[in-house]
A and B are shown apart, each in its own frame.
Chain A
């Protein structure tokens, strides 16, 4: 049975995994989520899935890199301006089709890497923090709220704080005095925000595949959010306590493949996030470490 890869045609992660699987003699079917529905024909009915009019036997595993269903993706920018309601409806319909197929495949025995619930944690950050906290793992103190008074109280308690979106799409920012003064906090009436205690230390990204940590690196940046400017990405070895925390975090989040972000602090590892569909191609290039290979081994073992 083939292994299905769902992601953009040019996505380097999908390409790396496809290459690694083929090198292991696996049959790979790639589905370009960015090309559906305008350039790829997909049909699902009476228990039969057809991609480009060819029947696909139930894959034994599916690596879900991306579904490309969010109306805020850069490729939809013009449609978002000119026909926002149509675009939102089209994205909902596309998501309904792809998620229905994936859930049906899962019911038929196909292993999803990762499952939809785990994938959805990308845009459910407070829920994921609660999962990690409930598992007894150290996370920064946090508060998701639209209550200005609660924000002021929280910042007074933790001293130094940052804020970030609950669903992603924007970088982490430090809380500065101007954020708490005047009418700035009135913006919480439009959308809640995730506030977190600021943790000092070195950011570390650790990739987990199955029950193994396969690659780890420190990411040094002058920015609070290293995604703005990664100056040095250097391979590192995890201490035993860090390894235990990283593996426990992946398990708590129900992820068989994840990029775990934590801060190497003086108080030990403090978890920030488990990414259910992490990028890794540039990480591999910068560190010389292999993520696609172990992921391919894992998919092959399913």
Chain B
């Protein structure tokens, strides 16, 4: 099915990048960015 409506709202369906620094808790693991779970170290 082709889209006929113009995309007017440039906002992703997922939460747009919850950076690890913004993620609460999560020190057993955290969000992956690229190939790694990164805590800023």
Contact = CB atoms under 8 A, between A and B. Distances in A.
A163 B18 CA distance: 14
Interface string B13-41: 11111111101111111111111111111
B29 A278 contact: yes
A9 B31 contact: no
Given A170-B15, A228-B26, A190 B7 contact: yes
Contacts, number: 143
A233 B33 contact: no
Interface residues of A, number: 59
A66 B36 contact: yes
A184 B11 CA distance: 9
Contact of A230 (B11, B14, B21, B26): B26
A122 B41 contact: no
B13 A188 contact: yes
Contact of B25 (A11, A184, A230): A230
Interface residues of B, number: 36
Contacts of A189: 3, 7
A228 B41 contact: no
A256 B3 CA distance: 43
Interface in A197-253: 205, 219, 226-230, 233
Nearest to A184: B13
Interface string A172-184: 0100000100011
A147 B1 contact: yes
A102 to B, nearest CB: 11
Contacts of A276: 35
B34 A164 contact: no
B33 to A, nearest CB: 5
Interface in A145-186: 147, 149, 163-165, 168-171, 173, 179, 183-186
Contact of B35 (A119, A183, A283): A119
Nearest to B29: A279
Nearest to A95: B34
A178 to B, nearest CB: 12
Interface of A: 8-12, 34, 65-70, 72-75, 77, 119-120, 122-123, 147, 149, 163-165, 168-171, 173, 179, 183-191, 193, 205, 219, 226-230, 233, 259, 275-279, 282-283, 286
Closest CB pairs A-B (n = 3): A70-B34, A168-B32, A10-B41
Interface of B: 1, 3, 5, 7, 9-21, 23-41
12 contacts: A67-B36, A72-B34, A122-B34, A122-B37, A173-B14, A184-B13, A189-B3, A226-B28, A227-B26, A277-B35, A278-B29, A286-B28
